[in-house]
Structure 1
Amino acid sequence: MRIAKRILWLLMILALAGCDQGQEPVAQEGVGVEQPTRTEQENNAEGAPPLTTALPVEVDPGKLQGVFGFADETGSRLIVTGEVEGQRENLDQITHAVGENGVILSVTHEMWQEGDDAGSGRDTSYNFAHLSGDLFTVTEGIAEPNATYYLFQPQEIPLNSLLEVALDGQPVVDENLRERLESAKDRDIRQLWRLAEIGTDAELYLALFHPDGKEHLFSFVLVRNQSEVVLDYPATVEDTNSVWRVDDQGEVIPEMFSFLFAARTTGQGIFIAMEWYGAEGINVLFLRSSEDRFIELETRYGRYTAPL
């Protein structure tokens, strides 16, 4: 009888403790047991604020939309001239513009400007009111009058991907670099300049080589992490009045180039947007580098600015 009472007593204790095999102990919320991660769908279903998604910190050149404009004489407006094919609805989503060595402006899409026939046909601030195109108002900052800008959404060019550009433009006396370039191209360098420092670990150079008969060559050289990648611009002409650009006399100098911005790209590369000034207009170049390549992208923009 005494043994039976003990067995009954033990069974009651086990039942009260809930310690049957396979039964998990119950823990209070937030105490002792890690809670499962809530999904964004669960948050939204319960009325909680959505989970934030971090923006990328690099530019993907394949996703650049290629929307360019330039400023009026007051620096308060930008115009994107002509129709932007297939992107009309995207213009309202544009919130920023970048130019002048990475200066960021806040902008908002204002209206379409019809333009008229009273202008000069030039893409300049002086002819701004006569051009057809989409107008943007600068809501924060002041644009440089007549300067070119790239207009974008933050997910297209994350602001924290932008790199500082420190202009130089001075001749370079670097015999090691000169010898490596001359050996690679099998011709002598006429002049070598450092155009700019980009970020904390890159320098962009401009090398102009002596002509070899009708063969002309200049190169951009990006030096980074003690190695260099080169982008060549060869030309074969008999008339040296216009080799690369109209009336350039076969010359390239640092004053012909300026920078819109530079940024980190996917794959630990560098993206450079720069302008090339000529006698009749301004061309924008999109350059991309990796560890072993330096290329010009197909995306381009040009402004006809020939003096009257």
Structure 2
Amino acid sequence: MKKKPFIKYISVFIAALLLLTHVIQGASAAKSFNETPAFFNKSVLKQGTFGFANLEGTKLLVDYPQEQELNWSQFNVAVGHNGQRLSIKLKGKQKETEANNGRQTAYNFDQLGGLIYEVIGGKAESNETYFIVKDSALTDRMLLELTSINKKKPTSKMKSEITKLKNRAVKNLYPLENIKEIGNVYLVEYKPKGKDMLASLAVLTSDGWVFKDYPATFSDNSAWRVDDGGSITPDMFSFTFAARSEHGFILGVQWLGAEGESTSFLEYTQAKKGKNGKKAKLSELDVRYSRYMMPI
């Protein structure tokens, strides 16, 4: 009977010890997260590579690695499909087969030559493009959450604001994506002036409207993309990821056309106030990846 209180105290002590261990581990994990770099360096885009997923989302293929000489085994994360971050591991080389039809798609995945990465943490989105790099170069802390806003309706006030800023009438304004902590991304299609076409990707932030313009000339049923009929629509656009940079953010833009998809990156530089103030700017970086996908 006298031993029971002692056993009870031991049980309480063990429970308290376990709780303390859990708290310490949690604090250690939080400290580790907070000590990782907060900003993505755009130079990393030229240090990594690009690939796309197979139908099952279990592998990624880098289909023309001969263009670069990199330490391929150091790459252990892939980021794409609105910032999905996957753990990967280099599996080896894949030889091209005679059945290869030249299309860079999941349907032709097993026929293409290149490097194969196995997805070991998570599952890739079928046929999606991913940026492949080492984990320390693009951490979870750097990534900004992307959420579709394509169901929202733009206001007439927004169209009027853009018309005034660009001195050109707006034909269509499409909401695309929200970047958490930043603002919203829109596709703007302006009314054509003869054969002169203009579209913009526009970001609405606390700095106001900021634009990346895409002028084009309509010819042979094509403007921005081959056989686009002079039309630009929101379903052509998807996003690889958004990452926080020291002076704004970096956004990966995937633009689908009749023959395939091109991936480019926009750099948003926030406005600078004061004596040497500068306006916010949205510019395209010298990094591209293209996939020839159609006709199948």
Instruction: State the TM bucket, normalised to the shorter chain.
Output: 0.7 to 0.9
Residue 56 (structure 2) aligned to one of 65, 74, 80:
74
Q: Does residue 1:270 correspond to 2:258, yes or no?
A: no
Q: What is the root-mean-square deviation of aligned Cα atoms in Å? A: 1.7
State the TM-score, normalizing by the size of structure 1.
0.78
* Structure 1: stretches of 5+ with no match in the other structure: 1-51
Match of 1:130 in 2: 111
Q: Provide the secondary structure at the position in 2 that maps to 1:297.
A: strand
Name the CA distance, whole Å, in 2 between partners of 1:191 and 1:137: 42
Bigger shift: residues 119-128 or 52-61: 52-61
Contiguous gaps of at least 5 residues in structure 2: 1-31, 271-279
Q: Percent identity?
A: 36
Go from structure 1 to structure 2 and tell me whether the alpha carbon gap of 1:166 and 1:113 turns closer, same or farther (over 3 Å shift). same
d(CA) in 1 for partners of 2:152, 2:256: 19
Q: Is the 8 A contact 1:169 1:255 kept in 2?
A: no
1:48 aligned residue: none
How far does residue 227 in structure 1 lie from its aligned partner after superposition? 1.1
1:202 corresponds to which of 174, 179, 183 = 183
In the alignment, the residues of structure 1 paired with residue 264 and residue 153 of structure 2 have an alpha-carbon distance, to the nearest angstrom, of: 23
1:245 aligned to 2:233? no
The residue type paired with residue 260 of structure 1 is: T
Give 2:235's aligned amino acid. E
Kindly name which structure, 1 or 2, has the bigger radius of gyration based on alpha carbons.
1
Aligned to 1:146: 127
Pair 1:116-2:97 in alignment:
yes
For 2:160, the equivalent position in structure 1 comes to 179
Task: Supply the distance in 2 between the matched residues of 1:79 and 1:61 (Cα, whole angstroms).
Answer: 23
SS at 1:127's partner residue?
Answer: helix
Q: Distance in 2 between matches of 1:85 and 1:219?
A: 31
User: Residue type of the partner of 2:292?
Assistant: Y
User: What is the rounded CA distance, in whole Å, between the counterparts of 2:207 and 2:290 in structure 1?
Assistant: 34
- Check the 8 A contact 2:36/2:141 in 1, yes or no: no
Q: Which amino acid aligns with 1:264?
A: R
Q: Which residue is equivalent to 1:293?
A: 281
What CA distance in whole angstroms lies between the structure 1 residues aligned with 2:159 and 2:198? 15
Which aligned pairs between 1:1-308 and structure 2 lie closer than 5 A? 54-64=35-45, 65-88=47-70, 90-170=71-151, 172-239=153-220, 241-267=221-247, 269-291=248-270, 292-308=280-296
Name the count of aligned residue pairs: 254
- Per-residue CA deviation, residues 199-252 of structure 1 (Å, 9 max, x unaligned), is 13311011100100111000011111151211000012343x110101111111
